Amino acid sequence: MTYRAPLAEIGFTLKYGAALAGAIEEGLFGDLSLDEVDAVLSEAGRVAAEVIAPLNRVGDKYGASFKDGVVTTAPGWKEAYKTWRTGGWNGVAAPAEWGGQALPQTIAAACAEMLHSSSVAFADGPMLTMAAIDALDAHGSDALKRAYLEKLVSGEWMASMQLTEPQAGSDVGALRTRADRAGDGTYRLKGQKIFITYGEHDLTDNIIHLVLARLPDAPPGTRGISLFLVPKFLLNGDGTPGARNDIRAHSVEHKLGIHGSPTCTMILGDSGGAIGFLIGQENAGMACMFTMMNRARLHVGLQGVGVAECATQLAIAYARERKQGRIAGMKSAEMAPIIAHPDVRRMLLTMRALTNAARVICYTTAMAIDRAERSADETTRAKWHDQASLLTPVAKAFSTDIANEVTSLGVQVHGGMGYIEETGAAQLFRDARIAAIYEGTNGIQGIDLVTRKLPLKDGAVVAAHIGQLRGVVESLSASNDPGFGWSAVRLGDAVESLSRTTAWLLGRLDKEPDTALAGATPYLRLFALAIGGCLLAQEALAALRLGADAAARLAAARFFAENLAVQAGALERTVVEGASGVLGAEAALAS
C-alpha cells in the first residue's frame, strides 16, 4: 500500500479547522474561491501520491551518493523533481512579482503536508528553497531579488540554509565562518559548515546557499552574525550560471533515515574565498535568518504531520488485513482482523487523533501568518504576527514529537513485520526521527515558547489565546451533543491547567529562569494538548453544523479529549512540582 492523499480530511481541516472558508468569505484572499482551493489540493495530492511517493523507497535504498565532489540523487529523482518544478509547486505562496501564484500560506501548508507524506527526503530541498524565497524577498536588495528570486520560485534553482558548524549547533552564536569585505561591496567567505541539507546535488543547474558568517570586527554571539547569499555558480552578465564559486561539498553523511536527502559538509574559501552578497544589514543576519527559519519550522512541523499521516494510513490498512486471535462471539476456527482488538484500536486511534491535532495546529499557524501578511490594518497584522510567533514553536515541536510517536506505533501495529523493511513502516519511523532535531531541536522550541513567546506583550498574547480556547469549550458545552462524551469537561480542565501553568511560568522567568526552563518541554506538550483538543472539537462542531461527514471527526475529537488531553493535569504537575526535582537531580546523573 502506498500513500493516498487524504483530500477530504485536509480540505475540511483547512476550511473549517483553520477557518480558511471564513477568511475567503470576508475577502482576505481577493476573489479566491473554495473550488479553486479544492482544485489546487487535488492536483498537489496527485503529484505527491502518483509521482513522488513511488520513489520514496528508491531514495531510501540508493540514498544520495558522493564521488569527487559530485552528489548524485537516487534513480528517478531528477525526473520527479522536474515534474514537481514544472507544476509550479515551489511558487504556490510566492509573490506573483517573481512568478509565484501568491496563494494563501494555508494552501501552501496543505500542499507541503502532502509532499512530505510522499517523501520527507525529497521534500527537504523544496522546503528549504521556499523558506529561502521568503528570506530573500523580505530582506534582499532589489538587485539580489532580480537576479535570483524568479529562478528560485520556478524551482530552476534550489537553495540551502547554512548555519551549523561543528562547534555551533543549537548555539548558533558560536559560529566562526568568516566574511571579509572585498572592497567592491561583495564579501569573501571562509569556513566549514556541517549537516547542510541539499548543500550539493544534481537536481538543478545552480544552488543558492544562504550562509551565516561573521565579519572580522563583528561583536560576539548572535549580535555579530551576518547573512550572505553564496551561489554555487556566479552569474554571467545575462543572469545565467557562469564561473564556479569557491564553495564545495566535502562529503555526505550516512544517516539513520532520509537517505535520499543529501546532508553535506561544505567547505567555503579553499581558493581565496567564496564570493558572498550581503542580505540585509551587516551584523543583522539572525533577524533575516529567522524569517527563513520560522517558515522552515512550520514546514518541518508539516513534515511531522505528513509522515504521521502516511504511517497511520499504512497501519490502518495492515490492521484490516492481518488476522490474529479471536474476539467474543466468533466461531472457534475463525481469526479476527487485528483492528478488532481493543488494544490495536487504541493504537490506531492514538495515531489518527495525534495526526489530526498536529495538522489543525499547523494549518492554524499558517492562517495566522496569512492574516499577519494580508489583514487591512497595521494593528490587526501585528496581532496576528504575535499569534503566529506564539504558535510556531508549538507547531514545529508537537508535530514532530507526535511523528516519532505515531511512526513508532505504526511499527508496533505491524508486529514483527513492522521491524522488517519491506512494509515501509520502518522507513517512516527512521525518516521521522530527524524532524525533532533539525530547524532547532524540540528542546530549543520549548525554550523559545517559554522565554520569548509567553512574555510577548507582557503575557497578553498567550492570555488572549487561552481566552479563545475557553470560548471553544463553552461552545462545546452548549452543544450538549452526547457524541462528545466527556470532551467539554476534559478540555475545560486542560485549558485551565494551561492557564495556571502559564501564569506560574511567567512568574518565574525573571527570578528563577532555570526553574522555568526545566518545565519548558512538558509545558509545550500541555499547550499543544489544550489547543489541539479545542481545535479538533471546533472542527467536529463545524462538521455537525454543516452536516458534513461528522462521525469520523467527532470520534477523533472525542478520543483526543478523553484519552490524550487528560494528560494536561499531569503535565501541569510535572512543570510546577517537578522542576525542583530536575534541578536538584545531580546525584542521579553522577555515574
Ligand X SMILES: Cc1cc2nc3c(=O)[nH]c(=O)nc-3n(C[C@H](O)[C@H](O)[C@H](O)COP(=O)(O)OP(=O)(O)OC[C@H]3O[C@@H](n4cnc5c(N)ncnc54)[C@H](O)[C@@H]3O)c2cc1C
Give me the active site residues, please. 439
Q: Which amino acid is at 35?
A: D
Nearer Cβ to ligand X (56/164)? 164
Taking the complex as a whole, the smallest distance from the CB of residue 65 to ligand X amounts, in Å, to 16
Nearer Cβ to ligand X (168/466)? 168
Taking the complex as a whole, the smallest distance from the CB of residue 418 to ligand X amounts, in Å, to 23
Q: Which long-range contacts (CB under 8 A, 24 or more apart) does 3-8 make?
A: 3/48, 3/49, 3/53, 3/117, 3/118, 3/310, 3/313, 4/49, 4/313, 5/41, 5/44, 5/45, 5/46, 5/48, 5/49, 5/114, 5/117, 6/309, 6/313, 7/38, 7/41, 7/42, 7/45, 8/549
Taking the complex as a whole, the smallest distance from the CB of residue 507 to ligand X amounts, in Å, to 21
Nearer Cβ to ligand X (56/197)? 197
Q: Which long-range contacts (CB under 8 A, 24 or more apart) does 32-40 make?
A: 32/103, 32/104, 37/11, 37/107, 38/7, 38/11, 40/92, 40/103, 40/107, 40/111
Taking the complex as a whole, the smallest distance from the CB of residue 249 to ligand X amounts, in Å, to 12
Tell me which residue has its CB nearest to ligand X.
169
Whose cell is 494528560? That residue is 567
Nearer Cβ to ligand X (64/495)? 64
Chain CA centroid to CA 354, Å: 15
Nearer Cβ to ligand X (10/196)? 196
Taking the complex as a whole, the smallest distance from the CB of residue 5 to ligand X amounts, in Å, to 26
Whose cell is 559548515? That residue is 193
Q: Are 192 and 264 in contact (CB under 8 A)?
A: no
Helix 487-506 and helix 567-583: axis angle, to 10°? Answer: 30
Taking the complex as a whole, the smallest distance from the CB of residue 498 to ligand X amounts, in Å, to 22
Q: Which long-range contacts (CB under 8 A, 24 or more apart) does 221-226 make?
A: 221/173, 222/172, 222/173, 222/286, 223/283, 223/286, 224/173, 224/283, 225/172, 225/173, 225/175, 225/283, 225/285, 225/286, 225/289, 226/179, 226/278, 226/280, 226/281, 226/282, 226/283, 226/284, 226/285
CA atoms within 13 A on the CB side of 299: 28
Taking the complex as a whole, the smallest distance from the CB of residue 154 to ligand X amounts, in Å, to 22
Q: Which residues pair with 160 in a beta bridge?
A: 209
Nearer Cβ to ligand X (303/389)? 303
**Residues lying near ligand X in the complex (CB under 6 A):** 161-164, 169-170, 195-197, 255, 263, 434, 437-438, 440-441, 443-444, 447
Nearer Cβ to ligand X (110/172)? 172
